[in-house]
Chains A and B, each alone.
Chain A
Amino acid sequence: MKIIKSSSSGSLESNDLLVFVSPNSGVKIEIDSIVKLQFEKSIYETILKVLEEFEVKDVCIKIEDKGALDFAIFARVKTALLRAGEEK
């Protein structure tokens, strides 16, 4: 999938997260989380998993996490990508 515009998904409510996606060259991931210390790596891996599934090579992803669980992160990132991307 090619990212052609900016998009976002999610919210800042507790146990949710806000995802911003925008076009970029290469993959750039910025994570801000209330549980960054404990779970940054796991959040990172979840995002990479979504990117892999959609074969996204060029994207900037920014996350404001309020303690979302893995599947919520997965779903929010997926939604943001689908809003910003164009299937090949």
Chain B
Amino acid sequence: MFEIKIAYDFDKIERNNAKAFLNHFELEYEEGIDTTINLYINSELVGTGSKEKDVFKCFAIAKSIQGSGALSKLLSILQSECNQNSIFHFFLFSKIENLDVFEKTLFQEVAHTERVVLFEGGIGRIESILKALASKLELNSHVKRSAIVMNCNPFTKGHRYLIETASQESEEVIVFVLEEDLSLFDTQSRFEMVKLGVEDLKNVKVILSGEYIISSKTFPTYFLKKNDDMTQVYTNLDVTIFGKYFCEILGIDKRYIGTEPNCNITECYNLSIQNLLPQFGVEVKVLKRIESAEGVISASKVREYIKKSEYEKLSDMLPESTIKFLQSEKGRRCVEKIQKNSKS
């Protein structure tokens, strides 16, 4: 029935067609898309759907053919495109109005807020992934623990202070280091810095955050530092997922956050945490950021000093362990990367 065109990122014509088609529906063709599927009937474009790695997005189907299996067709093709790249677990964002449209396909709901829904499909469900994590960490189900989520780009005395306080006030602490590899310090380096920085705190477990905390799935704009009206939508979704799944499965009853004087997006995230987590029976502890001689300690300031090679200012903001790391071979590579990069 349909004529199908599969467009990869170099196929400008099909991509522009999709873009124009989406505009009719007041939808945007997002950046970063690697595959677009267009459906034609008698060389008229009637449906489109795209994906970026494992996230499906930018769907639109002409009213006249809705209900004729066009969506299933699009999803089937995208799904097999994923499989060819060995991706068997995929995600989809949708407006809340379309909840039942996608629910009847290969997707299950992960969580929804007032405005958006996150679905996942294929092999792997959030519950089973977290349960596997809990048993891997050998978590004692009788212990209540605190959680901290941080990017640590790089690990500062401020991060250390937050973890140390939580460690003193709780039986156990889990530190989630953001796994998405989009920061100047790569994921492995950030993870290592945190591990080294809290080695002496026996009740602290440091792990990578996985796909469900501030990732390209739950909070795609975090790493773009793009602040628009979608920010609150994403932060609410992210926090809802945390409350609904992480807290229950991993036995978390407290979450620690630091105040955020500089970055609007993080500030917005903090607000969501304070608004939503108590509904899940989780206590939120807000700690004021500590200051050094150079003012409030923040990782972005540290990166600025590194960029300008003002190393003498760093010792005030970074713990011994991070300074040592920066002098290691891996650390020097990160420093070089920052100095070459235009953004801070």
Seen from chain A, the residues whose Cβ lies within 8 Å of a Cβ on chain B are 6-8, 11-14, 18, 20, 22, 34, 60, 62, 64, 66
B75–A8 CB distance below 8 A: no
CA distance A6 to B122 in the complex (A): 10
Across the interface, which residues of B come within 8 angstroms of A6, CB to CB?
Answer: 86, 88, 123
Q: Is B80 an interface residue (CB 8 A)?
A: yes
Please state if A12 and B88 are interface contacts (CB–CB under 8 Å): no
What is the CA–CA distance of A64 and B123 in the complex, to the nearest angstrom? 11
Which residues of A are found within 8 Å of B73, using beta-carbon distances? 12-13
A14 vs B69: C-alpha distance when bound (angstroms): 8
The answer to whether A8 and B76 touch across the interface, beta carbons within 8 angstroms, is: no
B105, CB-defined interface residue at 8 Å? yes
User: With the chains together, A62 CA to B69 CA distance in Å?
Assistant: 21
- Please state if A8 and B83 are interface contacts (CB–CB under 8 Å): yes
Instruction: Check B72–A8 contact: CB distance below 8 A.
Output: no
Q: A8-B122, A13-B72, A14-B69 are in contact. Are A20 and B80 (CB under 8 A)?
A: no
Question: Separation in Å of the A60 CB from the closest CB of chain B?
Answer: 7
Q: Are A12 and B106 in contact (CB under 8 A)?
A: yes
- Total A-B pairs, Cβ < 8 A: 42
Q: How far is the CB of A15 from chain B (nearest CB, A)?
A: 11
Q: Mark B74-98, 1 if CB is under 8 A from A, else 0.
A: 0110011001001010000000000
Residues of B within 8 A of A (CB): 69, 72-73, 75-76, 79-80, 83, 86, 88, 104-106, 122-123
B72 touches A66 (CB 8 A): yes
Minimum C-beta distance from B75 to chain A (A): 6
Q: Which residues of B contact A12 (CB under 8 A)?
A: 72-73, 75-76, 79, 105-106
Residues in chain B near residue A8, CB distance under 8 A: 79-80, 83, 88, 122
Determine the distance from Cα of A11 to Cα of B72 in the docked complex, in whole angstroms: 8
Taken together as a complex, chains A and B put the C-alpha atoms of A34 and B72 apart, in Å, by: 13
Query: Contact check: which of A11, A20, A34, A66 meets B123 at CB < 8 Å?
Result: A20
Told that A6-B123, A12-B75, A13-B73 touch, could you supply 10 new A-B pairs with CB distance under 8 A? A8-B80, A8-B88, A11-B76, A12-B72, A13-B76, A14-B69, A18-B76, A20-B88, A20-B122, A64-B105
Closest to B121 in A: A64
> Which residue of B is nearest A18, CB measured?
B106
Cβ contacts A to B, 19 pairs, < 8 Å: A6-B88, A7-B83, A8-B79, A8-B80, A8-B88, A8-B122, A11-B76, A11-B80, A12-B72, A12-B73, A13-B73, A14-B69, A18-B106, A20-B88, A20-B122, A20-B123, A22-B88, A62-B122, A64-B105
Q: What is the CA–CA distance of A7 and B75 in the complex, to the nearest angstrom?
A: 17
CB distance from B63 to the nearest CB of A (A): 20
If A60-B123, A62-B123 touch, whether A18 touches B79 (CB-CB below 8 Å) is: yes
- Which residue of chain B has the shortest Cβ distance to A28 in the bound complex? B128
What is the minimal beta-carbon distance from A38 to any residue of chain B, in angstroms? 17
Closest residue to B73 on the A side, CB-wise?
A: A13
The docked-state distance in angstroms from the alpha carbon of A3 to that of B73 is: 28
Give Cα A6–Cα B54 distance, bound, in whole angstroms.
15
- Residues of the A chain whose Cβ atoms lie less than 8 Å from the Cβ of B123: 6, 20, 22, 60, 62
Complex CA gap A52/B77 in Å reads 30
B86 contacts which chain A residues (CB < 8 A)? 6
